[in-house]
Amino acid sequence: METLPMFDSHAHLDMSEFDADRGSTIERAKAAGVDKILTVGIDTESSLAALALAKQYPGLYAAAGCHPHNSSDFTT
């Protein structure tokens, strides 16, 4: 049976909870068959952190986001 590639479409790997083992967390995901991960920012700071991580780890992608609780902090 063919296995399909998996894409984790919503992660927050920029969070401090991952500081101690971010790399191994990503490696465990890959070992479990997750080929690609989208790490999502919820404000300017976390969006920039997500972008930095995506540049550092192959197969990791970034999305800049704005959580509704932070919407008053954003301007167009």
Whether the model clears a pTM of 0.95, i.e. scores above it, the answer is: no
Number of domains in the chain: 1
User: Considering the domain boundaries, does residue 75 fall inside one?
Assistant: no
User: Considering the domain boundaries, does residue 52 fall inside one?
Assistant: yes
Q: What is the domain extent for residue 58? A: 6-70
User: Considering the domain boundaries, does residue 58 fall inside one?
Assistant: yes
Q: Which pLDDT score, from 0 to 100, does residue 14 have?
A: 96
User: Considering the domain boundaries, does residue 48 fall inside one?
Assistant: yes
Q: Which distant-in-sequence residues (6+ apart) come within 8 Å of 5 by Cβ?
A: 33, 35, 36
User: Considering the domain boundaries, does residue 31 fall inside one?
Assistant: yes
* Helix, strand, coil tally for the chain in percent (to 5): 40, 20, 35
User: Considering the domain boundaries, does residue 35 fall inside one?
Assistant: yes
User: Considering the domain boundaries, does residue 23 fall inside one?
Assistant: yes
* Regions of the chain short of the pLDDT cut 50: none
